[in-house]
Chains A and B, each alone.
Chain A
Amino acid sequence: MSAKVLRNVRPLGGELVDVLIDDGVIKAIGAKLPIEDAEVIEGNGAILLPGLVDLHTHLREPGREDAETVLTGTAAAARGGFTAVFAMANSTPVADTAAVVEQVWRLGQEAGLCDVHPVGAVTVGLKGQQLAELGSMADSAAKVRVFSDDGHCVNDALVMRRALEYVKAFDGVIAQHAQDSSLTAGADMNEGEVSSQLGLKGWPRVAEESIIARDLMLVQYVDSRLHLCHISTAGSVQLVREAKARGVNVTAEVTPHHLSLTDELARTYDPVFKVNPPLRTQLDVDALRDGLADGTLDVVGTDHAPHADEDKDCEWGCASFGMLGLQTALSVVVDAMGDRLDWAGIADRMSVRPAEIAGLSDQGRPIEVGEPANLTLVDPDSTWIVDPIELGSKSRNSPFAGRSLPAQITLTLLRGNITYRSQKVAQ
């Protein structure tokens, strides 16, 4: 019996319906569907969303399996409502060849909890000098379309120009980690009032904004496609807004933590709040929320960055950058944006648009008959307290530890198969 009926669910927060799923596809939608020989899953009025898609995940495999593996990372993804994630290229070895991206892709298939699409490195070894074999990665079994040196900026303007041009041949997109590294040498946190008081080296907003301004000009000039990773400043939002108004082919991403946390948290000197780009100020948070609400920022990307305990349980200056995000993403976005985006809006930013940007045909689809059953169910009235020990990830560096968050994921389906089911959803 593989058929399932999701009973009493509300697609995108709409009317109560039942949804019949079989052979990995939505077979019928309607009130009080007749049930014959199908497993019934009672939704109790929960919100049904298309499975979430994350353009920005670090799964750490190969290389740092002590912090995360494809299996544990996709378990966290499924529990966070995701049915597809894009694994960034900064593994060891770097995902800059067809062999490595195919390995990551295959690990994702074997885990079976969430589609894993490898992101290819833009340059060999993420060194920013020589283009990686982008075409080979595009032609591989992993069918790479998103390329990024994330963790590092493609600083050299000519290399960036070549990359943007080269991927036009296979409709690829360059996802830029915007950080002028000469302006951030040794920097630890946002440059501002708080850094000046804490004696931590400041990371100025212009380090991000100057690269974005340059790349917006480059992409317009060579008529390609640019995606901007983890936008963190009010100035960046404004640059993207203006560029879109003049027709530049750019998309932009914001993380849940930049939508919700500020550099005030650095006052604790707790490295769980150390992240690249750094947490900014409330002014930036407000601008990012405005940008996500009006569509200037297209998507939420988690920048899920697991780290082993010893890489966070140390002095702020020694600690690694990054925080967990997959399992808390939807709840944090609902918390930050619930009054600005309805469920359709949240589905757009966390599923539909990311799938479009990456060119996925089977994710981020409408909840309609005939569509693949990549779905997630959210209890809109529930709250939960984040306990890092309980998260699916192998690491525990969640900046939301101890916080009470709304909107718990109760069920995730990947092509009709249950990849996560909370105890709340009775058999």
Chain B
Amino acid sequence: MKAHLLSTADLDREGALQILDTAQELARVADMPIKKMPTLRGRTVVNLFFEDSTRTRISFEAAAKRLSADVINFAAKGSSVSKGESLKDTALTLAAMGADAVVIRHSMSGAPHQLAHADWMDAHVINAGDGTHEHPTQALLDAFTLRNHLADHISAPKQGSVGLDGLHVAIVGDVLHSRVARSNVHLLNTLGAKVTVVAPPTLMPLHNDGWPCEVSYDLDAVLPQVDAVMMLRVQRERMEGGFFPSEREYSQRYGLDERRAALLPDHAVVMHPGPMNRGLEIASRVADSDRSLIIDQVRNGVSVRMAVLYLLLGGNESALSEVNA
């Protein structure tokens, strides 16, 4: 694996599948009586969060701890924006403290890229969500979840591990500002799935010719064709920004309510990266229905993040060989 995980656009099929396969192995740790393996003992993982995100942080924290790494949580409230400590000084500080990997969440697109490429520190950088750019581990856990739950609908490749070949996935909502959408569009396409993004035109990037996906403004027309639908969170500030007239209208045109969920094929699954606005982009009954994988996504997040940490911090062997021995 490369030195950093910044974008799913940087992952080829082989690299992405290596992460998913490793996560599959590591998922077994969760079922062991002692949910811990010694692989990263003595290594230091810093969770550097410039933006609040309890669920992503604790997922990375659980992943690192199950691998026995030392975890430091660094909630950097100020940033260069608020004239707090700059990204550069924070990086220099972490380097001086001997961080082996830095998991960074930042409100500005590109901050993980700068951390990885500026001459500030040597640690491995994992992007845990940057601005409106990418959130690669979210896409990896989504792909992992799809692969497990839709195995019967995936075409087996001629060689190598199973990907997502033959699946059709809709990503619905604020595509323009969504780092989850950007990461998923690349990764799902790399793994062989067809992707359709659905949004009101004001929340769709105007210049999307280079995106490896289909574009639609009509959710009802797309739903009957897909194996999975991912609903994106609608930020309240988008409504204040005038991207759509009202929450009610958004919910009517792009929300996944029970009527719409019934348009899906029987086998199709519903996903959401969380946190949800129940009643806005997704109805409670749909979120809690049998076809919802929302809790599976959270569970799988820990395994996928274990795999990423394991592979970045030097693991080449089969991940569980030490445990099996």
- Residues of chain A touching chain B, judged by Cβ–Cβ distance below 8 Å, are 191-193, 195-202, 268-270, 310, 313-318
Contact = CB atoms under 8 A, between A and B. Distances in A.
The 7 closest A-B pairs by CB, nearest first: A199-B133, A269-B110, A196-B205, A317-B108, A199-B132, A199-B109, A318-B80
B106 to A, nearest CB: 7
Contacts of A315: 79-81, 87, 106, 108, 110-111, 114
Contacts of B207: 191-193, 195-196, 202
B88 A200 contact: no
A7 B97 CA distance: 62
Nearest to A188: B109
18 contacts: A191-B206, A193-B207, A196-B211, A197-B182, A198-B133, A199-B109, A199-B110, A199-B131, A199-B132, A199-B134, A200-B131, A268-B113, A269-B114, A313-B88, A314-B86, A317-B107, A317-B108, A318-B108
B130 interface: yes
B114 A318 contact: no
A318 B132 contact: no
Contacts of B132: 199-201
Contacts of A195: 207
Contacts, number: 76
Contacts of A317: 81, 107-110, 131
Contacts of A198: 109-110, 133
Q: Is the contact region of chain B dominated by helix, strand, or loop, or is it mixed?
A: loop
Nearest to B133: A199
A175 B87 CA distance: 37
Nearest to A319: B80
A318 B114 CA distance: 13
B152 interface: no
B179 interface: yes
B192 to A, nearest CB: 21
Task: Identify which of A191, A202, A316 gathers the most chain B CB atoms within 10 Å of its CB.
Answer: A316
B130 A199 contact: yes
A318 B109 CA distance: 11
A363 to B, nearest CB: 41
A268 B211 CA distance: 19
A313 B86 contact: yes
B210 interface: yes
B81 A193 contact: no
A310 B132 CA distance: 24
B80 A314 contact: yes
B209 interface: yes
Contacts of A196: 205-208, 210-211
Interface string B86-106: 111000000000000000001
A268 B106 CA distance: 17
